[in-house]
């Protein structure tokens, strides 16, 4: 027994040592730290800790055990289900106690479209960082364009759809057609050249980039970096109408306005003339209604004013005021007449008084005025010597006399 033990090499490993060595080698390999593996899901089971599934290679009859921990499940693009073809991203881990390795999965994408999706996401992230998809760079569409350019294939049904929609919505519009390939390896260069032709022409106010629906592999030209950059750099607002209900292409993100169909793109590019006419008629009707409403309000106020005037009986008040004026007029006339009569009576009294003191009137009553030679009125016998010449004035003339004798009137006896 001792001789047999002596024959064993010094490098002999235990089972645990072997598994530990394999773990150190595998987990130290940088390629296995983040590895993409493609296969078919043969089984999948959900446990409390996560989702355990087996990725199978039917051609080589090989399989690998995989696990997605619970905290990572919500981040998966596709949940592994039996029968699904997947490309998974994960890290290889070795479990020494069981002598097994397992793929710790962090992401899953559908096989076939997987590589394209990876490239799509990488390009999208890079262009997003450059700002090609930023909203503040989006240009608004003109409200009433006169010229619209269309970039699509002349054989595509999209070209006919766009023409019919533009004619029906906005008659008289000038449509420029810039043909391009919209499928195949040469499509990106063709689309870029078609956009550049429209820019060089300089007449278009809006550019419609359109293509009908199709398989995903037929639409890859609209995820080409050259096409996306041409759209972002175009000085003319671009409406993208690419495909039907599907995921957004990078061209959709770079365009100023995005629609899911060529018809919808044409509808966004131009207004509906009939709708504009209907809106105009509605505004005219609203304006007329507003004017009628205002006139009705004014008429109502006028009617209320008329009612108030009728309640006041303006005619009656005018008659009353007229009567008052007439009464005042009569009072004024009577007052003037009374004052006139009083003044006339006063004038007559003054006249009579003047008449009573008028010397002429006294003379007419039989009296006479005696004056001396100097023309002074002689009022007394005193100072009249005999022989004094005098002049006596009567009512009808004057005589000259001479005093012959003076006979004073004796004073009355008591």
pLDDT of 409 reads 78
> Based on the domain organization, do 19 and 87 belong to the same domain?
yes
| Between 21 and 178, residue with greater pLDDT | 178
Q: Residue 17's pLDDT is what?
A: 84
In this structure, are 256 and 160 located in the same domain? yes
pLDDT band of 232, cuts 50, 70, 90 = very high
CA 313, CA 254: separation in Å to the nearest integer?
79
Flag whether the pTM goes above 0.85. Answer: no
Q: Which pLDDT does position 121 carry in this prediction?
A: 81
Taking 60 as the threshold, does the pLDDT of residue 3 lie above it?
no
pLDDT value, residue 401: 85
Answer whether 153's CB lies under 8 Å from 181's CB: yes
pLDDT tens string 66-119: 999 999 999 998 899 887 788 999 999 999 888 899 999 999 988 754 445 567
CB atoms within 10 A of CB 294: 10
Domain hosting residue 60, numbered range: 8-112
pLDDT value at residue 41: 86
Exposed (0-12), middle (13-18) or buried (19+): which is 161, by Cβ within 10 Å? buried
Whether residue 19 has pLDDT greater than 50: yes
Based on the structure, what is the number of domains in the chain?
Answer: 3
Q: How far is CA 105 from CA 51, 58, 179, in A?
A: 10, 20, 46
Q: Which residues pair with 104 in a beta bridge?
A: 67, 91
Q: What is the pLDDT of residue 7?
A: 56
Judged by DSSP in three states, 52 sits in strand
If one compares 110 and 129, the residue with the highest pLDDT of the two is 129
| Residue 163 within a domain | yes
**In the predicted model, what is the mean pLDDT of residues 47-62?**
85
Q: Please count the residues of the chain.
A: 414
Whether residues 186 and 240 fall in one domain: yes
pLDDT at 414: 59
Q: Tell the residue number behind the tokens 């919500």, with chain if given.
A: 74
Which tokens hold the place of 294?
Answer: 């205002």
Distance CA(183)–CA(217), nearest Å, equals 9
Q: What angle do CA 243, 231, 260 make, to 5 degrees?
A: 20
Per-residue pLDDT at 387 = 80
Confidence of residue 198 (pLDDT cuts 50, 70, 90): very high
In a domain? residue 124: no
Query: Residue 347: inside a domain, yes or no?
Result: no
Judgement on whether residues 153 and 210 belong to the same structural domain of the protein: yes
255-310: pLDDT as tens digits:
999 988 899 999 999 998 888 888 888 899 899 999 999 999 988 888 888 777 77
Please identify, among 223, 239, 271, the residue that sits at the C-terminal boundary of a domain: 271
Its sign, for the CA torsion 69, 70, 71, 74, is positive
CATH at residue 220: 3.40.50.280
In a domain? residue 205: yes
Tell me the per-residue pLDDT of 397-409, one tens digit each, with 9 for 90 and over. 888 888 888 777 7
The confidence score (pLDDT) of residue 238 equals 94
Q: Do residue 105 and residue 171 come from a single domain?
A: no
Q: Per the domain annotation, does 353 fall within a domain?
A: no
pLDDT at 184: 84
Record the tokens describing residue 145, joined without a space.
């364009």
Contact 41, 58 (CB under 8 A): no
Q: Are residues 197 and 261 in the same domain?
A: yes
SS3 82: coil
Note whether residue 83 is domain-resident.
Answer: yes
Q: Is residue 182 part of a domain?
A: yes
Please identify, among 236, 271, 306, the residue that sits at the C-terminal boundary of a domain. 271
Question: Of 271, 292, 319, which residue sits at a domain end?
Answer: 271
Query: For 307-342, how does the pLDDT look when each residue is reduced to its tens digit (9 = 90+)?
Result: 777 766 667 777 888 888 999 999 999 999 999 999
pLDDT at 6: 56
Lowest mean pLDDT among 108-122, 159-173, 179-193, 367-381: 108-122
Apex CA 37: angle with CA 127 and CA 73, to 5°?
70
Q: Check whether 150 has a pLDDT greater than 90.
A: yes
pLDDT of residue 1: 45
Q: Alpha-carbon distance 180 to 99, whole Å? A: 59
**Are 178 and 230 members of one domain?**
yes
Check residue 244 and give its pLDDT: 59
Residues 161 and 97 in one domain: no
CA atoms within 13 A on the CB side of 284: 6
The pLDDT value given to residue 208: 94
How large is the average pLDDT for residues 2-30? 75
As beta bridge partners, residue 340 has none
The helix, strand and coil proportions of the chain, stated in percent and rounded to the nearest 5, come to 45, 20, 30
**Same-domain check for residues 247 and 152:** yes
Average pLDDT, the chain: 85
The whole-number average pLDDT for the span 241-257 is 81
In order, the DSSP letters of 207-246 are EEEEE----GGGGGGGG-HHHHHHHHH-SS-EEEEESSS-
Same domain for 150 and 92:
no
372 and 262 inside one domain: no
Which DSSP state fits 244?
S
Q: Give the pair of three-digit tokens for residue 59.
A: 């051609």
User: Whole-angstrom Cα distance, residue 171 to residue 270?
Assistant: 10
222 within domain boundaries:
yes
Cβ atoms 244, 268 nearer than 8 A: no
What is the token pair recorded at 95? 């479990």
On whether both 15 and 106 belong to a single domain, the answer is yes
């Amino acid at each position: 027994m001792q001789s047999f033990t002596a024959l064993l090499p010094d490098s002999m490993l235990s089972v645990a040592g072997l598994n530990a060595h394999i773990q150190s080698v595998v987990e130290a390999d940088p390629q296995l730290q983040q590895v993409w593996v493609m296969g078919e899901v043969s089984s999948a089971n959900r446990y409390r800790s996560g989702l355990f599934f087996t990725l199978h290679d039917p051609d080589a009859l090989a399989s690998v055990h995989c696990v997605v921990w619970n905290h990572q499940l919500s981040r998966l693009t596709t949940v592994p289900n039996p029968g699904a073809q997947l490309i998974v991203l994960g890290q290889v881990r070795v479990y020494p106690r069981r002598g097994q390795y397992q793929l710790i999965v962090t992401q899953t994408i559908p096989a076939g479209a997987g590589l394209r999706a990876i490239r799509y996401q990488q390009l999208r992230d890079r262009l997003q960082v450059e700002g090609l998809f930023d909203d503040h760079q989006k240009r608004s569409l003109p409200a009433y364009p006169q010229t619209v350019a269309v970039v699509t294939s002349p054989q595509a049904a999209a070209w006919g759809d766009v023409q019919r929609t533009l004619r029906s919505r906005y008659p008289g519009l000038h449509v420029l057609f810039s043909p391009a390939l919209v499928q195949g390896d040469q499509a990106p260069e063709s689309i870029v050249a078609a956009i550049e032709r429209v820019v060089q022409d300089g007449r278009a106010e809006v550019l419609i980039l359109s293509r009908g629906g199709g398989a995903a592999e037929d639409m890859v030209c609209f995820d080409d970096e050259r096409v996306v950059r041409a759209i972002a750099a175009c000085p003319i607002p671009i409406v993208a109408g690419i495909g039907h209900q599907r995921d957004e292409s990078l061209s959709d993100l770079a365009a100023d306005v995005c629609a899911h169909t060529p018809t919808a793109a044409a509808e966004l590019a131009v207004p509906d003339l009939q709708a504009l006419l209907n809106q105009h008629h509605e505004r005219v009707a609203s304006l007329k209604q507003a004017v009628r409403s205002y006139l009705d309000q004014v008429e109502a106020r006028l009617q209320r004013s008329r009612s108030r005037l009728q309640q006041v009986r303006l005619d009656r008040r005018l008659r009353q005021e007229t009567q008052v004026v007439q009464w005042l007029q009569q009072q004024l006339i009577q007052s003037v007449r009374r004052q006139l009569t009083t003044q006339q009576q006063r004038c007559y009294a003054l006249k009579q008084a003047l008449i009573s003191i008028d010397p002429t009137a006294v003379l007419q009553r039989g009296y006479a005025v005696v004056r001396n030679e100097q023309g002074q009125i002689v009022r007394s016998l005193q100072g009249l010597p005999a022989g004094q010449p005098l002049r006596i004035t009567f009512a009808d003339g004057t005589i000259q006399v001479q005093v012959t004798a003076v006979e004073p009137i004796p004073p009355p006896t008591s």
